[in-house]
Structure 1
Amino acid sequence: MDIEQCINTYSDYLYRIAFIYTKDRSAAEEVVQDVFFNYYRKAHQFQGDATLKTYLVKMTINRSYDYLRSWKNKKHIFLEIIQGTSKGTEQIYVEQELRGEVTAAVLALPVKDREVLLLYYYEELTVTEIAVLLELAASTVKSRLQRARKKLKPKLQMEVMADE
């Protein structure tokens, strides 16, 4: 598959995954661009052990983690704390989009909990597939799913009670 066809096929999908991790539109776009750039440069390394989609998802997850650990992200968070709650138009728009109760509750979870929920419910992967993708034991994936559900349940119940 050539790079243009690959971008047309997977860019929206990878963007959604990157956004779930980074919670930032521009960071998600940057992550996806990096993934496609690196795939273009290193396409010969793709051995076909997994599907191209799985390979790109794994690259997106890894690059999202890199972004979350980066100084750029930490500086952004630090500046938000110092400057208070002053938000730009784009940030307000993103927050309005995220007001969906489930999405907001899931995004409030730590990354490890978010990723297993995303892959299990949104991507409809099995526990075994998630374990392979994240390079974890299946029992660890099950534990993370259970922990994430426990953390999510009270948040969703509070939302339901607030709406009544």
Structure 2
Amino acid sequence: MKLFNNFSVYTVQFHQLLEKERIESDLHDFDKIMDEHSKHLLRIAYLYVKNWDTAEDIVQEVFIKHFLQARQFEGRASLKTYLTVMTANKSKDYLRSWQHKRNILVSNLFSSIKGIDTTLQQQEEHLSLHKAIFKLPIKYREPLILFYYDEQSINEIASFLKLNENTVKTRLRRAKHHLKQFMEESDLGGTYE
């Protein structure tokens, strides 16, 4: 009986050692995943929420969720696509949250106090274009961001957004048309096609 008790103790210790090694291996893999995808996911989150600190928080939440639920990843799509979808969904959740609505209210109150003007023409154009992109409805903004900032193909965008390729092309064309109109109204001219 004493031999059996020692055996079970050693078995438990062996399983604890295996679990520790598995966790260390998972952490190493997780570090590689973070290094490889963090910049891309941060850009995606920022393009949705328009705030770097919030975007960093969202990406951190995505990585934590992925680490805790890594075994649920079935590999039907690439890991980059999987993490991008998680980031987009987390960003959309944030945009619907009360915290976001409160932040908008606070920033609107303080924006009237701040009167910072940029002096360089290039900075003004960049800022105007940036604002114009964020004024677009989300259905036009998403394909535009994925096509120009993330450099995805029409096929990849259609797959990601679960749309027909022709719908993606139409939305891109309309988004460019809206941006062109905005830039002409802003009297900044230029060719934005």
Shorter-chain TM range is 0.7 to 0.9
Is the 1:131–1:137 contact (alpha carbons within 8 Å) kept by the matching residues of 2? Answer: yes
- Tell me how many residue pairs correspond in the alignment: 155
CA distance in 2, matches of 1:77, 1:32: 21
1:5 is the counterpart of 2:32: yes
Name the % identity: 40
Indicate the residue corresponding to 2:41 in structure 1. 14
Tell me which amino acid in the other structure corresponds to 1:126: S
Whole-angstrom distance in 1 between the partners of 2:101 and 2:55: 15
Structure with max Cα Rg? 2
Provide structure 2 residue ranges, at least 5 long, that are not aligned to the other structure. Answer: 1-27
Contact 1:98 1:104 in 2 (8 A): no
Deviations 1:93-132 (A, max 9, x none): xxxx886253343233232222110111222222221111
Does residue 160 (structure 1) correspond to residue 188 (structure 2)? The answer is yes
Query: Is the contact made by 2:154 and 2:168 (CA closer than 8 Å) also made in structure 1?
Result: yes
**Could you say if the C-alpha distance between residues 159 and 106 of structure 1 is closer, same or farther in structure 2, counting changes exceeding 3 Å?**
farther
Question: How big is the shift at 1:84?
Answer: 4.9
Counterpart-to-counterpart distance in 2, 1:85 and 1:2: 47
- Mapped to 2, the partners of 1:152 and 1:36 lie a distance apart of 34
Distance 1:60 1:98 in 2: 30
Structure 2 Cα separation of the partners of residues 46 and 114 of structure 1? 28
Give the RMSD, CA atoms, in angstroms.
2.5
Distance 2:110 2:188 in 1: 32
Is 1:119 aligned with 2:185? Answer: no
Task: Tell me which of 60, 71, 74 is aligned to 2:87.
Answer: 60
Is the Cα contact below 8 Å between 1:21 and 1:64 reproduced in 2?
A: yes
Deviation of 1:82 after TM superposition, in Å, equals: 4.0
Relative to the length of structure 2, the TM-score reads: 0.70
- Asked whether the equivalents of residues 132 and 179 of structure 2 are also in contact (C-alpha less than 8 Å), the reply is yes
Structure-2 residue corresponding to 1:46? 73
| Equivalent position of 2:100 in the other structure | 73
**CA displacement at 1:152 relative to structure 2:** 0.7
- Does 1:31 pair with 2:21? no
Q: Could you tell me how far apart the structure 2 residues matched to 1:160 and 1:81 are? A: 25
Contact in 1 for aligned 2:125/2:188 (Cα 8 Å): no
3-state SS, counterpart of residue 124 of structure 1: coil
SS at 2:106 equivalent: helix
